[in-house]
């Protein structure tokens, strides 16, 4: 296991579900992070899919002491550096490129890159990465596909994301090569927009108990 993998796993601290968040308003970042943390999901991924994402990362990281805030949907070195500068504790990418690898190699912030095919997994392993995002999980073959990877890639572990829900998260988490799953169901857009933090806390609490 690489040192950066160990660092990332220590940040996760056994959390089974990483909330994948698309935050339209930076002002929602702090109450959202607090609600998720109260529900047992301290580690969160804020995706760079909105104009306010970097500011949301800054606010949640600075104002919610218990939160471990990472950045997702990182597509290039510029975004990697911006996310790291905003205070991201970890970086998630949907795939793996030489540019992103280079940015990660020069940073203390651990990278969780996406890989689906055997070739992509081998490329990641050659770069010393043994904890990978499996995205889009359901569309790529789901838990059955991941199970088939366990034998040829015995040293690789995954965080499946994409199509993962409360209904199927347990199927993934039961696999020996799955550490955690990523999901957006714990913070639905309508609840975030309405500021219904108590309901999000309830969803987070249910997610935090999956597989336990």
Cβ pair 95, 77 in contact under 8 A? no
Nearest-angstrom CA–CA distance, 194 and 190? 6
Give the start-end residues of each E strand in 62-198. Answer: 68-72, 91-93, 111-113, 131-134, 157-160, 181-183
Nearest-angstrom CA–CA distance, 199 and 112? 29
Task: With residue 46 as reference, give the H or E element that holds it.
Answer: strand 43-47
Cβ pair 160, 137 in contact under 8 A? yes
Tokens linked to 129: 């990465």
List active site positions: 45, 133
* Residue 89 per-residue DSSP state: S
Crossing angle (nearest 10°) for helices 53-63 and 29-38: 50
């Amino acid at each position: 296991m690489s040192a950066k993998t160990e660092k990332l796993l220590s940040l996760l601290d056994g959390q089974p579900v990483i909330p994948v968040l698309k935050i339209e308003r930076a002002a929602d970042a702090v109450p959202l992070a607090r609600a998720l943390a109260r529900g047992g999901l301290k580690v969160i991924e804020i995706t760079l899919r909105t104009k306010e994402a970097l500011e949301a990362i800054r606010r949640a990281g600075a104002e919610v002491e218990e939160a471990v805030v990472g950045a997702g949907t990182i597509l290039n070195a510029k975004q990697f550096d911006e996310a790291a500068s905003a205070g991201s504790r970890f970086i998630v990418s949907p795939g793996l490129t030489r540019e992103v690898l280079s940015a990660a190699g020069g940073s203390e912030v651990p990278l969780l890159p996406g890989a689906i095919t055997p070739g992509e997994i081998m490329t990641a392993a050659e770069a010393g990465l043994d904890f990978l995002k499996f995205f889009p999980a359901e569309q790529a073959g789901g838990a059955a596909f991941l199970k088939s990877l366990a034998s040829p890639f015995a040293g690789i572990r995954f965080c499946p994301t994409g199509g993962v829900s409360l209904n199927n998260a347990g199927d993934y988490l039961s696999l020996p090569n799955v550490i955690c799953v990523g999901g957006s169901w714990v913070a639905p857009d309508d609840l975030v927009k309405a500021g219904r933090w108590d309901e999000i806390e309830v969803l987070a609490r249910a997610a935090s108990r999956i597989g336990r």
